[in-house]
Structure 1
Amino acid sequence: MIEEHPNLIQVNEICGSNIDFKTKLIYILKSELISEIDTYQKNLSLNNYIECAENVHKLKHKISILGLEKSYEIAVFFEEDLRKSNLKRKVEFDEILNSMLAFTADL
């Protein structure tokens, strides 16, 4: 279990006082996150681990922008594991995704 929580620190640093830009960035983040997680889950259900690794690679950007440093490290290792058809970090990675979805749902 990871002892960190998604936050908007990096989003706030990127956007500064530009509220319109922040609103657009959060909208894009939320919509892409949902889409990328759906694609990841589809590829996972098809045992398409190479494509799944690519999905995790894309999701790492969302993990990073939400300030999840430890989770980012887990994603790096999970991406490498998937390229070897190894799912040992799947449960932990899915917990990260769930925390991100819960956090962004409230934005």
Structure 2
Amino acid sequence: MTEKPNLEYLKELSGGDIEFEQKMLEVVKKELPVEIENYKKHLVNKQFNEAAELVHKIKHKISVLGLEESYQVAIDYEEELKKGQIKQQKSFEDILDSMTIFVENV
């Protein structure tokens, strides 16, 4: 994956409101690890529809972190999960890893 998480979209969205940016980042930092953990539990238990719901939630965080290509991967993976397929699992989980490292260090 060549695309890296960034704050450009968030800065654009905030219109320069630093407090808004910080609040959004705090939400991402708080919710992302929980959503990833629950996603993985559902996947292990082959609860694909539930996993798809979490991918849907995470998809919005992907967007906030400026990952345009990754957002499309999440859309495709969410649809796969609804069909009980996991072809894009590794690609999606690579995105999750990248996001996790980024939010831990921002």
TM-score by shorter chain over 0.5 = yes
Task: Give the shorter-chain TM-score range.
Answer: over 0.9
TM alignment of 1:56-67, pairs within 5 A: 56-67=55-66
How far apart in 2 are the matches of 1:22 and 1:88?
A: 34
TM-score, normalising length from structure 1? 0.93
Match of 1:19 in 2: 18
Match of 2:92 in 1: 93
Q: How far has the Cα of 1:39 moved from its partner?
A: 1.2
Match of 1:42 in 2: 41
Q: What one-letter code is carried by the residue in structure 1 that aligns with 2:81?
A: L
Q: Figure out how many residues of one structure are paired with residues of the other and give that number.
A: 106
Any unmatched runs of 5+ in structure 2? Answer: none
How far apart in 1 are the matches of 2:96 and 2:42?
A: 15
Any unmatched runs of 5+ in structure 1? Answer: none
Q: What one-letter code is carried by the residue in structure 2 that aligns with 1:12?
A: K
Q: Which moved more, 1:80-89 or 1:11-20?
A: 11-20
Other structure's SS at 1:6 match? coil
In the alignment, is residue 79 of structure 1 matched against residue 45 of structure 2? no
What is the percent sequence identity of the aligned residues?
43
Other structure's SS at 1:72 match? helix
Q: What one-letter code is carried by the residue in structure 1 that aligns with 2:32?
A: L
How far apart in 2 are the matches of 1:62 and 1:31?
A: 11
Deviations 1:46-97 (A, max 9, x none): 1100111111111110011111111111111111111111111101100000
How far apart in 2 are the matches of 1:80 and 1:93?
A: 13
How far apart in 2 are the matches of 1:51 and 1:11?
A: 28
